[in-house]
Amino acid sequence: MKPFTTIAVVVFTIVAVLHLLRIFMGWEVVVGGTVIPMWASYLGLIIAGGLAFLLWRECRQVKT
């Protein structure tokens, strides 16, 4: 895997894990006095986890 791809996979995985922790632990996130709804973490988990998986899978494919 190229270094940039490895870094991108790690960053997306960390973001996905943090969203997962927020979902299970029930952490409340407040930005500028506005409470961020929990559904945003479900969406973030799907997007970040999906991007990490797709990047990882793309790099693991054998070039023919």
Q: What is the pLDDT of residues 43-59, one digit of tens each?
A: 999 999 999 999 999 88
pLDDT number for residue 62 = 54
pLDDT of residue 61: 76
H helices present in the chain, as ranges: 3-25, 39-60
Report the pLDDT value the prediction gives residue 63, as an integer from 0 to 100: 58
pTM summary value:
0.86
Distance CA 29, CA 22 (A): 9
> Helix or strand or coil: residue 63?
coil
User: Which residues does the chain have with pLDDT short of 50?
Assistant: none
